[in-house]
Structure 1
Amino acid sequence: MDLRTGLVGGNPGKGRTTDLVIAGGGPAALSASLYAARYSIDHVVLESYQPGGQAALTAWIENYPGMGRISGGDLAARMKEQAERWGGSFETATVTSTGLRDDLIEVKADSAVYLARFLIIATGAAPAKLGVPGEDRFYGRGVSYCATCDAPFFKGAHVMVVGGGDSAVKEGLHLSEFADRLTLVHRRDRFRAEPYLAEKLLSCDNCSVRWNTTVSAIEGEDGVEGVLLETPEGEERIDVDGVFIYVGRRPATEAFSGLVELNPDGTVKTRGIVGTSRSNVFAAGDVTDNELRQVVTAAADGARAASAVFNLMQ
């Protein structure tokens, strides 16, 4: 099969054949594209949404070296622009399945088919759900997983944030700039977030924290009106206008389940840092089972993965 043709199965415009497919559009994918371009590796990035993935939906990023305080969207835009300046190729498509065709990797994305010698899985992770009554019913009508997207709709309102990690606290602080009152509910008796962030929220004038508490249901008619809580003292209902949920993420790896080995939680089982059970497939960012998941570590993973591809091509 001729890797120079750019055609797959005789269908011009329906995908392409290339050295490398990078699945995803977050910091790991953007970094991988930059390094692949600098290595002169012919590649395509398949991003299903906007560049930056979940990072692009973060109001402020303050721990990316050299950037000070920058919005997630701005950082993602800068990363993509840099990759494109070096020759990175981007297409909007959602990877639906992967497999093998002869000695190449077949990647199906929407109605297109891509064939590649190498694949970098950098599809990130989607917000995990609470799994309580009312969550799905009121999604978009008071239930949200993105404060950066929806905070302005809750100006002067009472909103609840569920979770205790960096995302919950950081997005709670962003919400507190719009909401009249913010109640953060956490199932434990202490935050998992960075102490700096935790201290900021605990000193926030319009914020309060309910420890050792879980949400059992979200209630309302046309929109969210209240939440049922399980507290150490028993069940309690409080009135709120919105619920923002940050209880973890689900890795977006379904399309790769038959190609590489996955862990029970859906993350890619890595060898080393970015290697997988298949020698020509690599994983980067939030899809991996590496412990630390930050924008800076995702970018580092992307660089490592592209470098590994380059080394194998020599």
Structure 2
Amino acid sequence: MAPQHHKVTIIGSGPAGHTAAIYLARANLAPTMFEGMMANGFAPGGQLTTTTDVENFPGFPNGVMGGELMDKMREQSVRCGTVIETETITKLDCSSRPFKIWREGTETNSASEPSDTSDAVVIATGASAKRMNLPGEDKYWQSGISACAVCDGAVPIFRNKPLVVIGGGDSAAEEAIYLTKYGSQVHVLVRRDKLRASKVMAARLLKHPKVIVHFNTSPTGALGDGSLLTAVTTKNTLTGEEGQIEANGLFYAIGHVPATELIKGQVDLDNDGYIKVIPGSSETNIPGLFAAGDVQDKRYRQAVTSAGSGCMAALDAERFLSELEESQSETNTGSQSQLDLDMKFKPKSNL
């Protein structure tokens, strides 16, 4: 059976993927989205499906549940003409054109034929926050435990309450300082005897009157009243002494893992594994492959910035497909050779 061919394919179904889909569909490019089924550990819709109240996405003055927001984005994608496949992509080959795509279950061996091909692909597979799998973590996840202070710090359960941040880098320092606007006190747990944060951020954190930094301290568990978090248990990494900190909020700031397994070894990644894009665009070093959302953004990681990058990817992909069509037309009429076409769209390096 011949592979299904698409002009443009979107892999991922968070804000970046759906925004790209909406723009591409409105441009009459008939995009196909593979929204994934528990891909990267998330249901279709990505990280927002695990979030409760979202109060900082424009257009929702009273806030919106994360799952509801993603349902609305999906509905809009379909209404605009996107074909959504609730399947996970397990392999993507960008070494030749068109790109080759394998759906879950079709890649039985290295010689298996692809299930789909595509002239352009938007990678919007996202990233997942590193978690510590502490006792009680699953019970109180989104009921006091979060991996995004900017997303969740302002919700009522954290206001004027003691909070805990885990981590010693710049992200942890930034999130702790951000949380001082809402919490009564912010405890920062650092497993080593010093902060990894830059000198400026470390100094700002240490001198803040609402911050207490606990060095050589690791969390050991999350306690609560059955509904909400009430305390974090700790252990001194040097002495083994155990303790407990009253807290209504526990925020992880220990990093994220971008979902880049599909394109490792094919596309340029930075030292943290995020896809490198040409500054000011969504273009990767492979012409026709675009990256949007958290898979290429390790700084902001917000729903609204992901949506914005999805728009960029769609506009970049639309321009690429127009140029590709024009070049193929010139090749067919003899005004341009196949070699010229191959050279124009060959992978680049050192973004």
Which TM bucket (shorter chain)?
Answer: 0.7 to 0.9
Secondary structure of the residue aligned to 1:201 is: coil
Map of 1:93-108 to 2, 5 A cutoff? 93-100=87-94, 102-108=96-102
Asked if residue 169 in structure 1 is aligned to residue 158 in structure 2, the reply is no
1:109 deviates by: 2.7
Which residue of the partner structure matches residue 155 of structure 1? Answer: none
Normalised to the residue count of structure 2, the TM-score between the two structures is 0.65
Which residue of the partner structure matches residue 243 of structure 2? Answer: 237
* Coordinate RMSD, CA, aligned: 3.7
Which residue of the partner structure matches residue 271 of structure 2? Answer: 264
Asked if residue 92 in structure 1 is aligned to residue 100 in structure 2, the reply is no
1:226–1:262: structure 2 CA closer, same or farther, 3 Å change rule? same
Which residue of the partner structure matches residue 200 of structure 1? Answer: 182
Which residue of the partner structure matches residue 306 of structure 2? Answer: 298
* Matched residue type, 1:98: L
- Equivalent residues of 1:166, 1:194 under 8 A apart: no
The structure in which a higher percent of residues are helix is 2
Distance 1:115 1:164 in 2: 36
1:74 deviates by: 1.6
Which residue of the partner structure matches residue 212 of structure 1? Answer: 213
1:268 deviates by: 0.1
Which residue of the partner structure matches residue 289 of structure 2? Answer: 281
Map of 1:59-78 to 2, 5 A cutoff? 59-68=52-61, 69-78=63-72
1:75 deviates by: 1.4
Which residue of the partner structure matches residue 125 of structure 2? Answer: 123
* Matched residue type, 2:101: V
Distance 2:180 2:126 in 1: 25
1:114 deviates by: 2.1
Distance 2:156 2:91 in 1: 37
What CA deviation, in whole Å up to 9, does each residue of 1:32-68 have, x standing for no partner? 1111110111221111243431123222222222222
Distance 1:239 1:198 in 2: 17
Which residue of the partner structure matches residue 24 of structure 1? Answer: 12
1:106 deviates by: 1.3
1:194 deviates by: 9.0
- Equivalent residues of 2:164, 2:251 under 8 A apart: no
Secondary structure of the residue aligned to 1:255 is: helix
1:174 deviates by: 6.4
Q: 2:47 aligns with which of 54, 63, 66?
A: 54
Secondary structure of the residue aligned to 1:41 is: coil
1:21 deviates by: 1.3
1:243 deviates by: 9.5
- Equivalent residues of 1:51, 1:77 under 8 A apart: no
Secondary structure of the residue aligned to 2:19 is: helix
Distance 1:301 1:197 in 2: 27
Please tell me whether Structure 1 or Structure 2 has the larger radius of gyration of its CA atoms.
2
Secondary structure of the residue aligned to 2:53 is: coil
1:305 deviates by: 0.7
Normalised to the residue count of structure 1, the TM-score between the two structures is 0.72
1:109–1:235: structure 2 CA closer, same or farther, 3 Å change rule? farther
